[in-house]
Structure 1
Amino acid sequence: MVWKRNYLRYLDDSTYLNRLKYCSWFLCSHFYLLLGYKARTLSILEYGRVIREYDPYFNLRATEYLYKNGIRKFFTWMDDKSWYPLGRPVGTTIYPGVQIATCTIKMFIDAVCKCYNFFMLYILGKDKWTIDTMSVNDVCCFVPIWAGLIGSIVTGLIAYECTITCNSEYTLLSYLKSRIKKGNKGSIHPSNKRNQEANAPSYNPAVECGIFAMGMMAMCPTNLMRSMGGGYDNESVVMPFMLTTFYFWIRSLRGNDDLSHSFSIHAGISFCATASCWGGYIFVSNLIALHTFILILMGRFTEKLRLSYSMFYVLGTYLATRISVVGYKPLQSLEQIFGVGVLLLCQLLHQFDNYDTQKNIGGNKRKKNQVRLLTIALLVGLFAVVSTSPIFTPLSPRIRSIFLKHQPTGNPLIDSVAEHHPADASVYFRFLQNLCIGSPLGIFYILENFGDVPCFLLVYTISAIFLSLKMVRLLILVGPVASILTGIAMGRIVCFFIFKIVDFSWIGMEEDEQVPIVPKTYSNDHGKKKKKQSREKIPNKSATGTFKSNHTSFILYLVALVAVITFNFLYLYNSIILGRTLTSPGIVERRMHEGQIVTVDDYREAYAWIKSGTPEDSRILAWYDLGFHISSMTDRRSFADGNTWNYEHVALLARILTSSEEEGYSLARHISDYILVSAGGSNDDLAKIPHIAQIANNVYPHICGKDIDCSGFRLSPSGRPSKLLQKSLLFKLHSNLLVEGVTINQAFFKEVFRSKFGRVRIYKIVDTDEESKAWVDDPRNRFCDAPGSWICRGQYPPALRKLLRNKISPQNDNFNHSTFSDGDDVSTEQVRNPQCMDSSTATEQRCASGELKQRPGEKDELMQEVTKESIAKISKKWEDTDHTTMMWNIITRGTVADLENALENVPLLAHVRSSDGRGPIWWAFEHQKHDMVQILKQHNVNYNQKDKDGLTPVDLLSLSQNIEWI
């Protein structure tokens, strides 16, 4: 038994065990990170350094512009290559953190390469050893990989912080029991009974939990989806910033550190980085505010909590408001006002505590609780009052749909996005795999080792699951917390089994073979040293029953440990298998063709032809999901891209594609030179045409008529097209010379390119309207927000606007049709007497009989000649009248034809002002009715006027921009 005695002496040697522990930490960490890196680079190894999908191409193009032109021009970039002819003010509508972070990395790599090449060339004279720097495209391909790994490391740090003893030293049940019986003020820290009864203090597996959580996150499918090589999306870059914000927040609440609240400054800075990258920063701020509020309700309000939250919120919100796309939304939007309420609550509770201390009434628990309840009631009442105030913007449609039962918005463009639909149980098991099993175990351990910091994990878990159930896109929020919970469970279970197995190694030793008891010190929780005996003597028992029982337990613990490790590797294997299905970048595919695997690269082939075979000022018309590709890869002007900020513009594109060949040509020749059609694969343009028709029909109701679903544009089960589909321009462009009897009119369109596998076809539009093109390119025809402003939007050419008279305007939150949705013009009688705007039969009869008469004074003032004096007189008169109500209805729910008809009858209506000092020009800017703004300008309406709050119409435009999550 000499070998066993030596083995046991090693087990009792703390130096040896520490070395073994550190080596295992090092090996496991590197194994998980290396495996995560390999899984994310599969796409690059197989397809090369290719950007994936659609949205990342816009981020790539914006990054290239920032790297080439600098930050000043980037923030004043009016992009005229997208959304032709309107353009897009990228500088104020983009989350710039993605581009800034990438360019910073690119410049760092450039500096390192220059230093390395200088050393090799001029110091060592090895010119063959010099290296080339990475291109912007290459950096953009690798940024998601690096971000995913950094996010995994920070996830491990969060698990570590939630597991260390000073943050998890009591149970939730014992805490609540003590609160009820003793009425303590949230300062108790009940110890764990098991530690008191144990012969030796328990080992805290914080590091192990952190390593396992890091490994789970590194291979979590929800994280892999957003961090594959080339997936240069906002979510992929924001994840490390978001998790860093969470880590610094819980680090500021560490129990045994009196100065830990200073880490909330780092949390505020990280929150600013999060807000600069992704619209989901709303979740981050509200989650931290909710955690603070719950701690207050649990009686855990302390000076540290107040300082931590106040420093985080004030600094983070201030920095976030410096970002153009965010602005003052954290202080003005209802979905973010909760943070302000929690901040005020913290300050009020602090003042009450100071008052109790000064008046020495701390023992009067009833009075103190009454004051606190009154404070909360006042804040709730204040929130209810301000929620109806016009100062605060209402909940956006997406936020509102989260808290209400999922209903279609009426906008097919948004409703069709699969990521906006609710999630079901199968999605969780598919994209979380074994984490669905490990997370409940992690919650159990959190409840058994509770504290202020572990409470954050419970709040995070409930919030993330609730949001992802409402919108499957937010499943990305569940991945980190599921990884943390599973990591905590695995870390505690594995450490428990390992120590049990080590303890059973002494079984069967003779008494004279046991290692002598040597008092030693152990380090628990990294720094707190206590004395313990290295090993107790085990009495010599010859009873075989006891030995067999212990031996059986040893085997059971060993089997359990192997089962947990198998669970870990099974999760890694399943994640790798799922990751293999995510390698295709979308724009390039590999398919079986004639028994061989071939690379289908039709789209990049078509884009290369456009870049080399068309003039630089060419305009390319294609369905909007290909717009990012066109503007980024061809450097040509695209009609629309994947952003949904202007629904009516996309509806015009849909109308062109679903109209007849003659009508589509008459519209397209004014705004494009070429038409690109996706003509192959399961998701080509023909497969999308029912959806395209629905979008067009929402603005141009003649497309489908009363058929809301546009079922007339579908293929029959046998593959035969319907009559409406056969007449559509898209069908003819798609099936030209491929389907018997389908040919395109050569007088309208001429096919100039077909890709190798027929996935893409490009047609040149014959006899384009050069006059309309020149009119759009003329800077004098662009509308600037203010004189000298860089935001100068283009306009539709006059020849096209004449063809777009009859349409409805669904560009509002609920996209409901208004009283003007039938396309009829406002009658002269309605303009002269706005009381007749009511469409009821009784009102029409009263108007016809003359019973409803014009109010005295209004008709005379508005019907006078248009002069500077009359305009000034009307503009100075601020009051709510029937005419202001009528104009508001026309601007917000009517059409351009309604406005033109009203001003043709009564031109001075353009200058009426309501009691708040606002008029038609304010409402047109606020609802982004660019065509109506132009009409009002033609009637000499001054858009630099101010209302009673000192806001100009341009200010309302900036306040009304509601940039959706990319």
Structure 2
Amino acid sequence: VKSVKTGSVFWTVCCCLSYFYMVSAWGGYVFIINLIPLHVFVLLLMQRYSKRVYIAYSTFYIVGLILSMQIPFVGFQPIRTSEHMAAAGVFALLQAYAFLQYLRDRLTKQEFQTLFFLGVSLAAGAVFLSVIYLTYTGYIAPWSGRFYSLWDTGYAKIHIPIIASVSEHQPTTWVSFFFDLHILVCTFPAGLWFCIKNVNDERVFVALYAISAVYFAGVMVRLMLTLTPVVCMLSAIAFSNVFEHYLGDDMKRENPPVEDSSDEDDKRNPGNLYDKAGKVRKHVTEQEKTEEGLGPNIKSIVTMLMLMLLMMFAVHCTWVTSNAYSSPSVVLASYNHDGTRNILDDFREAYFWLRQNTDEHARVMSWWDYGYQIAGMANRTTLVDNNTWNNSHIALVGKAMSSNETAAYKIMRTLDVDYVLVIFGGVIGYSGDDINKFLWMVRIAEGEHPKDIRESDYFTPQGEFRVDKAGSPTLLNCLMYKMSYYRFGEMQLDFRTPPGFDRTRNAEIGNKDIKFRHLEEAFTSEHWLVRIYKVKAPDNRETLDHKPRVTNIIPKQKYLSKKTTKRKRGYIKNKLVFKKGKKIPKKTV
């Protein structure tokens, strides 16, 4: 905005540096590189072209493009992806528009109008057709699924379930708007109206920013980040206009103009200083009496009301920051009936156990939500973490969680898994556990392995997802269900509920006799929130788990002793070719 107002290259370069930081920090920079070209395009449509706009955008696009390409993760995406083509198209259109403006003084009005409409149409058509051709031939990558999910809210659930599974990608509720913005929800439209009422080049940007950010914030919860700055600015404009309107007259009244008692002044201001009877000046008390009532005091009432709203907003922001946005997700808190607070530290307890009781090279399989926590706090290798770009690897873990124990064991042996970690909230009523996330594991796995995993198998014939006796047999025997409810069927939480009653789902589990063949329970936290299982090694390969051993000759052993144990006998039968009572060959495999 500053660069558009001044047309200064210095301010434009400062804008480019801010854009460079945005590119390095968050993939949401695509919103910025599409919003600024939209602003310039609308200014051209409104016939608000100026040299300031030309200098600002041309400098921003060239310098910003070069800076953004210095980020290794971005690379050549700004010139090879469809998300950035709008900026390139507006840049080309702006150059054509500027050239036509240059020809205005050298042509007649009729010739210029004909050339202008023809030139702009040809430039826009050439840019559009070029982008389509380059996209069709593969030089420009098509729109990504994350972009499509912004316009079609059901696209991600069908085609990219990994995006739809994240709670931050869900549509925003009205409760979230009021929880985050408070009174600004009401004052924000008023500020937008004041901007549109007295529009100029800068206010066009603010209006476009506000309208687009409101839409995107309604599509995804996480995009409230893009909405909050413009809401704060427009609300400030609304409050400023209200205070200026109701306090401005008082400021003028404190410094009144010098009055003259001449007849001419009396004619200009009839009834202000004199009564109807004649040239008799009103008494001071009579003037004050006319100002009594609600009308003259409405300014004070509105001012006090605005100040109270701002005070309430400050209190609300402090409360939200301390309770909602400053509480770590690793440490949970619950409140008793008497108001005392209980701290649930199961996550750190489990991660500390992993750090202290497992090998430093141990590999942990869990859902991707806890990948960074395990890597950072337990210092152990995880199969998937919160970097969700590798959809196929996450789908393989989801397939293991959704399969029965035997099929899951084969996958875990392929991935060299040592421990499996699950989150279970049935004891304390924690709704964010893995059972509540399980359907997303199934959907993501089905997207990569449709022949092995089908979402419909985990529902009842009536289409319900149930964990009790009426639940689907596929669900009651899958690995995630068994790891979550292992030994839970023996546990009675209180006298009012039967053993194995899940407080989160408000149901008695359907499979209480859970036994493992390939897993064993290694750790369960105090409130059963985190459960860790150890993956057993195959019976005949206990010494060959991670260090395969090949021997040529067994020293000092020529004949098989009668005291050979069954395990050793089985090992030799599998690894050495021998016959009972005969000499072992010298060359063995």
Q: Using structure 1 for the length normalisation, give the TM-score.
A: 0.48
Equivalent residue number for residue 60 of structure 2: 312
1:402 to 120, 135, 150: 150
Question: Structure 1 pair 378/425, CA: closer, same or farther in 2 (3 Å)?
Answer: farther
Equivalent residue number for residue 723 of structure 1: 473
2:193 to 434, 444, 466: 444
* Alignment pair present for 1:485 and 2:225: no
**Equivalent-residue separation in structure 1 for 2:535 and 2:137 (angstroms):** 52
| Counterpart residue type for residue 659 of structure 1 | S
Give 3-state SS (helix, strand or coil) of 2:158's partner: coil
Unaligned residue ranges in structure 2 (runs of 5+): 261-271, 275-280, 491-510, 549-589
1:679 to 414, 424, 440: 424
Task: Give the alignment of 1:441-520 within 5 angstroms.
Answer: 441-505=190-254
* Alignment pair present for 1:759 and 2:529: yes
| Counterpart residue type for residue 738 of structure 1 | F
Q: What do the CA deviations read for 1:854-908 (whole angstroms, capped 9, x no partner)?
A: xxxxxxxxxxxxxxxxxxxxxxxxxxxxxxxxxxxxxxxxxxxxxxxxxxxxxxx
Aligned-pair CA distance for 1:298? 1.3
Please say if residues 422 and 484 of structure 2, whose CA atoms lie closer than 8 Å, have aligned partners that are also in contact: yes
| Counterpart residue type for residue 532 of structure 2 | I
Aligned-pair CA distance for 1:710? 4.6
Q: What do the CA deviations read for 1:531-589 (whole angstroms, capped 9, x no partner)?
A: xxxxxxx9675177764445555422111111221222232233334332343311101
* Alignment pair present for 1:642 and 2:386: yes
**Equivalent-residue separation in structure 1 for 2:454 and 2:174 (angstroms):** 38
**Equivalent-residue separation in structure 1 for 2:470 and 2:460 (angstroms):** 14
Please say if residues 439 and 486 of structure 1, whose CA atoms lie closer than 8 Å, have aligned partners that are also in contact: yes
Equivalent residue number for residue 607 of structure 1: 351
Q: What do the CA deviations read for 1:35-59 (whole angstroms, capped 9, x no partner)?
A: xxxxxxxxxxxxxxxxxxxxxxxxx
Aligned-pair CA distance for 1:737? 1.8
Equivalent residue number for residue 413 of structure 2: 669
| Counterpart residue type for residue 345 of structure 1 | L
Equivalent residue number for residue 750 of structure 1: 520
Question: Structure 1 pair 312/717, CA: closer, same or farther in 2 (3 Å)?
Answer: same
**Equivalent-residue separation in structure 1 for 2:379 and 2:9 (angstroms):** 50
Please say if residues 590 and 599 of structure 1, whose CA atoms lie closer than 8 Å, have aligned partners that are also in contact: yes
Aligned-pair CA distance for 1:346? 1.7
Please say if residues 406 and 470 of structure 1, whose CA atoms lie closer than 8 Å, have aligned partners that are also in contact: no
Equivalent residue number for residue 40 of structure 2: 292
**Equivalent-residue separation in structure 1 for 2:343 and 2:297 (angstroms):** 53
Please say if residues 363 and 417 of structure 2, whose CA atoms lie closer than 8 Å, have aligned partners that are also in contact: yes
Task: Give the alignment of 1:141-160 within 5 angstroms.
Answer: none
Task: Kindly name which structure, 1 or 2, has the bigger radius of gyration based on alpha carbons.
Answer: 2
Q: What do the CA deviations read for 1:814-838 (whole angstroms, capped 9, x no partner)?
A: xxxxxxxxxxxxxxxxxxxxxxxxx
Give 3-state SS (helix, strand or coil) of 2:489's partner: coil
**Equivalent-residue separation in structure 2 for 1:594 and 1:758 (angstroms):** 22
**Equivalent-residue separation in structure 2 for 1:664 and 1:572 (angstroms):** 52
Equivalent residue number for residue 619 of structure 1: 363
Q: What do the CA deviations read for 1:399-429 (whole angstroms, capped 9, x no partner)?
A: 1232346333334322222332333545433
Aligned-pair CA distance for 1:288? 0.7
Equivalent residue number for residue 628 of structure 1: 372
Give 3-state SS (helix, strand or coil) of 1:587's partner: coil
**Equivalent-residue separation in structure 1 for 2:288 and 2:116 (angstroms):** 59
**Equivalent-residue separation in structure 1 for 2:120 and 2:178 (angstroms):** 42
Please say if residues 93 and 124 of structure 2, whose CA atoms lie closer than 8 Å, have aligned partners that are also in contact: yes
| Counterpart residue type for residue 97 of structure 2 | L
Equivalent residue number for residue 581 of structure 1: 324
**Equivalent-residue separation in structure 2 for 1:679 and 1:635 (angstroms):** 22
Question: Structure 1 pair 613/594, CA: closer, same or farther in 2 (3 Å)?
Answer: farther
Question: Structure 1 pair 450/687, CA: closer, same or farther in 2 (3 Å)?
Answer: closer
Q: What do the CA deviations read for 1:300-347 (whole angstroms, capped 9, x no partner)?
A: 112221111111110011110111111111111112101111111222
| Counterpart residue type for residue 679 of structure 1 | F
Please say if residues 458 and 475 of structure 2, whose CA atoms lie closer than 8 Å, have aligned partners that are also in contact: no
Give 3-state SS (helix, strand or coil) of 1:739's partner: helix
Question: Structure 1 pair 723/360, CA: closer, same or farther in 2 (3 Å)?
Answer: closer
**Equivalent-residue separation in structure 1 for 2:443 and 2:402 (angstroms):** 10
Q: Indicate the larger mover: 443-452 or 308-317.
A: 443-452
Give 3-state SS (helix, strand or coil) of 1:675's partner: strand
Question: Structure 1 pair 265/551, CA: closer, same or farther in 2 (3 Å)?
Answer: farther
**Equivalent-residue separation in structure 1 for 2:117 and 2:410 (angstroms):** 73
Please say if residues 253 and 261 of structure 1, whose CA atoms lie closer than 8 Å, have aligned partners that are also in contact: no
Please say if residues 501 and 557 of structure 1, whose CA atoms lie closer than 8 Å, have aligned partners that are also in contact: no
Please say if residues 658 and 703 of structure 1, whose CA atoms lie closer than 8 Å, have aligned partners that are also in contact: no
**Equivalent-residue separation in structure 2 for 1:647 and 1:664 (angstroms):** 18
Equivalent residue number for residue 555 of structure 1: 297
Q: What do the CA deviations read for 1:580-635 (whole angstroms, capped 9, x no partner)?
A: 23433111011146965221011111111111111111111122211111111111
Please say if residues 264 and 311 of structure 1, whose CA atoms lie closer than 8 Å, have aligned partners that are also in contact: yes
**Equivalent-residue separation in structure 2 for 1:745 and 1:425 (angstroms):** 46
**Equivalent-residue separation in structure 2 for 1:667 and 1:632 (angstroms):** 25
Aligned-pair CA distance for 1:644? 2.2
Q: What do the CA deviations read for 1:908-932 (whole angstroms, capped 9, x no partner)?
A: xxxxxxxxxxxxxxxxxxxxxxxxx
**Equivalent-residue separation in structure 2 for 1:397 and 1:414 (angstroms):** 9
Equivalent residue number for residue 301 of structure 1: 49
* Alignment pair present for 1:253 and 2:4: yes
Please say if residues 519 and 536 of structure 2, whose CA atoms lie closer than 8 Å, have aligned partners that are also in contact: yes
| Counterpart residue type for residue 314 of structure 1 | I
**Equivalent-residue separation in structure 1 for 2:8 and 2:287 (angstroms):** 51
Identity %: 26
**Equivalent-residue separation in structure 2 for 1:621 and 1:706 (angstroms):** 22
Task: Give the alignment of 1:487-886 within 5 angstroms.
Answer: 487-505=236-254, 542=282, 547-550=288-291, 553-579=295-321, 580-592=323-335, 596-670=340-414, 671-680=416-425, 681-701=430-450, 703-705=452-454, 707=456, 710=459, 716=466, 721-740=471-490, 742=512, 745=515, 748-767=518-537, 773=546
How many pairs are equivalent? Answer: 496
**Equivalent-residue separation in structure 2 for 1:715 and 1:452 (angstroms):** 54
Q: Using structure 2 for the length normalisation, give the TM-score.
A: 0.76
Give 3-state SS (helix, strand or coil) of 1:603's partner: helix
Question: Structure 1 pair 539/450, CA: closer, same or farther in 2 (3 Å)?
Answer: farther
Give 3-state SS (helix, strand or coil) of 2:142's partner: coil
Aligned-pair CA distance for 1:271? 0.8
Q: What do the CA deviations read for 1:206-253 (whole angstroms, capped 9, x no partner)?
A: xxxxxxxxxxxxxxxxxxxxxxxxxxxxxxxxxxxxxxxxxxxx1112
Question: Structure 1 pair 477/510, CA: closer, same or farther in 2 (3 Å)?
Answer: closer
Aligned-pair CA distance for 1:640? 1.0
Please say if residues 262 and 308 of structure 1, whose CA atoms lie closer than 8 Å, have aligned partners that are also in contact: no
**Equivalent-residue separation in structure 1 for 2:166 and 2:424 (angstroms):** 21
* Alignment pair present for 1:272 and 2:17: no
Please say if residues 511 and 539 of structure 1, whose CA atoms lie closer than 8 Å, have aligned partners that are also in contact: no
Aligned-pair CA distance for 1:378? 4.0
Give 3-state SS (helix, strand or coil) of 1:450's partner: coil
Question: Structure 1 pair 315/506, CA: closer, same or farther in 2 (3 Å)?
Answer: closer
Equivalent residue number for residue 327 of structure 1: 75
Q: What do the CA deviations read for 1:786-808 (whole angstroms, capped 9, x no partner)?
A: xxxxxxxxxxxxxxxxxxxxxxx
Give 3-state SS (helix, strand or coil) of 1:584's partner: coil
Aligned-pair CA distance for 1:286? 0.9
Question: Structure 1 pair 743/718, CA: closer, same or farther in 2 (3 Å)?
Answer: closer
**Equivalent-residue separation in structure 1 for 2:358 and 2:536 (angstroms):** 14
Please say if residues 658 and 692 of structure 1, whose CA atoms lie closer than 8 Å, have aligned partners that are also in contact: yes
| Counterpart residue type for residue 615 of structure 1 | D
**Equivalent-residue separation in structure 2 for 1:651 and 1:728 (angstroms):** 16
Please say if residues 459 and 472 of structure 2, whose CA atoms lie closer than 8 Å, have aligned partners that are also in contact: no
Aligned-pair CA distance for 1:646? 2.3
Relative contact order higher in (CA < 8 Å, ≥ 6 apart): 1
